[in-house]
């Protein structure tokens, strides 16, 4: 774990934070709306597996059927392209933001909390892999894998909320510590 923290400390700087912000905004403004528009054609208002909190197997297969063959191919393409990059983009932003803000506010122990941002990244990728396998093999039911995906998706969202709380805390702690240190200098 010390090696991971050393690497995260090494990449956590203002230029990387600025690049991560630019990439994050680019995804939010350009890529994600395009991805949503492209896949909404097939979703027929049934939603998306990755945006569900706990997509149970029956719901996953209902979505797979509603997407149709062409829609499943489109979703698989998205999961293997844009949705591989998106978790990396938001994770780098969270990693660097948490590292810098909590490192300033609480020192090395605070900066170590940035490693928590790796959990949603890994869970999102596992979710994508399972979704690709399930959609590729439809109509064959793989309920154990679908349950695994449901648990992974749920854990992804819970860990994402936790990381967002760390980011929010860091955004508050940073200026508070700055002002406190200026007043006591």
The per-residue pLDDT for 126 is 96
Does the structure show a pLDDT above 70 at 81?
Answer: yes
* Distance, CA of 146 to CA of 20 (rounded, Å): 32
Rounded percentage of the chain residues whose pLDDT exceeds 90: 58
- Expressed as residue numbers, the domain containing 19 is 2-183
Q: How many residues does the chain have?
A: 185
User: pLDDT (tens digit, 9 = 90+) per residue, 89-137?
Assistant: 999 999 999 999 999 889 888 888 988 999 999 999 999 999 999 999 9
Does the structure show a pLDDT above 80 at 1?
Answer: no
* Distance, CA of 81 to CA of 88 (rounded, Å): 12
Mean pLDDT of 56-73: 90
Does the structure show a pLDDT above 80 at 72?
Answer: yes
The per-residue pLDDT for 9 is 84
Of 35, 29, 24, 28, which is closest to residue 167 (Cα–Cα)?
24
- State the pTM of this model: 0.90
Would you place residue 42 in the very low, low, confident or very high pLDDT band (cuts 50, 70, 90)? confident
The per-residue pLDDT for 88 is 96
* Distance, CA of 84 to CA of 128 (rounded, Å): 8
Mean pLDDT of 62-76: 89
Helix pair angle (143-183, 57-79), 10° resolution: 70
- The number of folded domains in the chain is 1
CB atoms near residue 143 (< 10 Å): 13
Please give the residue that has the higher pLDDT: either 16 or 42: 16
């Amino acid at each position: 774990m010390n090696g991971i923290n050393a690497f995260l400390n090494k990449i956590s700087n203002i230029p990387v934070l600025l690049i991560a912000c630019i990439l994050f905004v680019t995804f939010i403004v350009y890529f994600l709306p395009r991805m949503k528009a492209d896949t909404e054609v097939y979703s027929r208002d049934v939603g998306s597996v990755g945006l569900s909190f706990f997509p149970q197997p029956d719901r996953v297969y209902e979505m797979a059927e509603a997407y149709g063959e062409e829609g499943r191919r489109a979703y698989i393409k998205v999961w293997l392209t844009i949705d591989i990059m998106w978790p990396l983009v938001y994770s780098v932003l969270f990693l660097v933001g948490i590292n810098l803000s909590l490192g300033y506010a609480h020192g090395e122990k605070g900066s170590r909390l940035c490693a928590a941002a790796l959990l949603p990244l890994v869970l999102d990728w596992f979710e994508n892999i399972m979704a690709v396998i399930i959609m590729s093999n439809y109509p064959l039911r793989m309920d154990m894998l679908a349950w695994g995906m449901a648990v992974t998706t749920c854990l992804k969202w819970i860990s994402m909320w936790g990381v967002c709380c760390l980011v929010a805390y860091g955004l508050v702690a940073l200026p508070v510590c700055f002002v406190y240190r200026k007043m006591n200098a």
